[in-house]
Structure 1
Amino acid sequence: MRATELSELAAFAAVARHRSFRKAGEERGVTASAVSHAVLNLEDRTGVRLLNRTTRSVSLTEAGELLKSHLDSAFGEITAALDALNRFRDTPFGKVRINVPNSIAPFVIGRVIGPLLEKNPNLQLEISATDRLIDIVEQGFDGGIRFGERVTEGMIALRIKPRLRLVVVGSPAYFERRPKPVTPHDLKRHLCIQNMFPSGARYPWDFEKDGQAITFHPAGPLSLDDHELMTHAALGGVALAYVWEDRVEKMIAAGELIQVLDDWCQPEEPLYLYYPSRRHMPAGFRAVIEAMKAE
């Protein structure tokens, strides 16, 4: 098989996996038009339509589904064969793709990246940070990081970090205008940012102390789906924010933010690095696992 034919098959496999020429191009490091051209060449050469294309979507034909099923297995074997060569190298080689929530990515994986790449110079680490829940297998990721309750059933899950927690913070200027809340019930008299998932759904502020659980639903005028924006809004004295403690701990120490209701803020569920069960684990991903375990 010629290199151009293999490249066309790889381009088709990427489109079939992502259902998107743009995302397939991003994965392969080329333009969407280059991927589209490669797939068209494959269809012309085989004389079979593999994709149904509209201005808004891409789907597989019956022939495309059949080809994808064979390619998944074939490319998996190729990847395993190439990865087996790692035992002849000093360090693992190749690309590892990880999905991690955007809101916690900096302080969950940020400390790992430098030492990991320094120790494994032939490793290519690709991290996609998004708070959207995705299927890591369908999207072509080697693994993902999520809280325990969000890990898909059937995945192998490795606990990687002590439990994180959400805390309530406001600026000194904000508390010059309003008294500090003593219990979560006092939040009803405060301006509080509504926390959103990327889907638009709101999630409450949960508290617990001495066995008493309180769920507070903010009804303030500001709704945000990004913890960095929430932090900036709190720094500006706009409202109280319910954000990850690791994100704001330096600002609290510097006096830029004031933390309240500390004894009511309980740890979240543990974080896990999760990945599909597989017969052969790439050496690069194994290096990532070891780095996360060490951290």
Structure 2
Amino acid sequence: MNTTIQTWLAAGPLLTDGGWGTQLQLRGLAVGKHPDYWNLTNPEKVQEVARAYVDAGSRVILTNTFGSNRFILGRHGFDDKVAEINAEGVRLSRNAARNAVGSATGNAVDGIAKVFASIGPTGVVLMMGQVSEEQLYSAFHEQATALAQAQPDALVVETMSDLAEAVIAVRAAKTTGLPVVACVVFDSGKNKDRTMMGQTPEQAVEMLTEAGADVLGSNCGQGIDGFIPLCRRMRAATTLPLWMKANAGLPRMVDGKTVYDQSPDEFAEKAMQLIEVGADFIGGCCGTSPEFIAAVKKRLTARSEK
């Protein structure tokens, strides 16, 4: 295990954050607008989201840089701002973490949040010839370098549906020298235990470990009930730390809006089951909010006091 990660986990599982997109929309982000550009135009609102998660109990928060690679930014006309948007995303989350209540030592177990910078997919498909491996690597390397220069604590390659793209992203991220988390989406197959490309949790473990990932896991794609068997299978296949961030159940449309029915308490109860089957980093994805993180924090605190 990476020694830095090992130190952070010394006191037990770490609570991460929840969904960002819906939180930004609650603060005025219009549907269809690129969230990451808000790092430059509405930094106070972006930092407000990060701080809300820290206040709720997150000891690892992400950055508003999920779509800050040249491909995604280029679709919005911002491909010349890769370095600026990524650096600002890290700065805003670092400010939120620095303002957390707790020890000033910077140690996660003492209560200060760590910043794990987010790297999401490019939205182009390798197997369909839309892009070359070299082009993907260059884009991920560019983003990872920009993020690393702003000094986050780690990088998170997340929401990957294609293991080939995930492997390229991890290899690019590893050149920074920072710890790297690698997460894929399992939302396909009869049991929702396959990626969109048909790959299994065991295949994900093997390929991402070989690529150099320090932490493995899954996020998005389905509700937390489905994450329990996924986590169990990944734990059986690896001794590396596991990262799990599930959605708040299955979404449904109400009056043109996406609604998630799972309550924070229901989610928190299942989160404890995830920890029992091997999760080391626990948080939420789509449909989750600071209220969900606070509910998980409450149960984690009670668990540690037993």
Which TM class, normalised by the smaller chain length?
under 0.3
Which has the larger share of strand?
1
Larger RCO (CA within 8 A; separation ≥ 6): 1
What TM-score does the superposition give when structure 2 sets the normalisation length? 0.24
Larger radius of gyration: 1
